[in-house]
Amino acid sequence: MRSLLSIVLAAALVGAVLGTSGCRAKPQPAKLAEQVTTATPSPSSVPSSATAAIPSAVQPVEPHLNQAAASVYFLSDEKVAAASRVLKAPAVAESALKALLAGPTPTEKDQGLSSAIPAGTSLRSVKITDGTAAV
């Protein structure tokens, strides 16, 4: 079950990163908070009972030049919950996976977020060819 959840989390992250990797528009500070919403994987990939909202104290982040905002997904009461991260551009896929492997921040841990990825897991490489990511 844990490995299935890890696969689902990684797939959701890669999908989110690939879907936003071509976005270069700089978000307006006032609009960023409006654009950030709770993101959950599609119903076909995760049962509806396995999704959760972002804890209220987890705040959206604003990217700067050569950065991109993204969500990484952790567990909260055995449900999937998104946490905001600012990633290095243009290597957004690699940065997102490294953020996922780093796990929740101390504040996010205090709010109940955890990771299903085993400690010591590392990223060897990320290669995207024709819209397909090899991790």
pLDDT, tens digit, for every residue of 81-116?
999 999 988 888 999 999 999 999 999 999 999 999
Query: 45-49, 60-64, 79-83, 113-117 — which is least confidently predicted?
Result: 45-49
Q: Is the pTM of this model over 0.85?
A: no
Q: Which domain holds residue 95?
A: 2-134
Distance set, CA 84 to CA 60, 67, 100 (Å): 5, 13, 11
Residues in the chain: 135
Q: Does the N-terminal peptide bond of residue 118 adopt cis geometry, omega within 30 degrees of 0?
A: no
Number of domains comprising the chain: 1
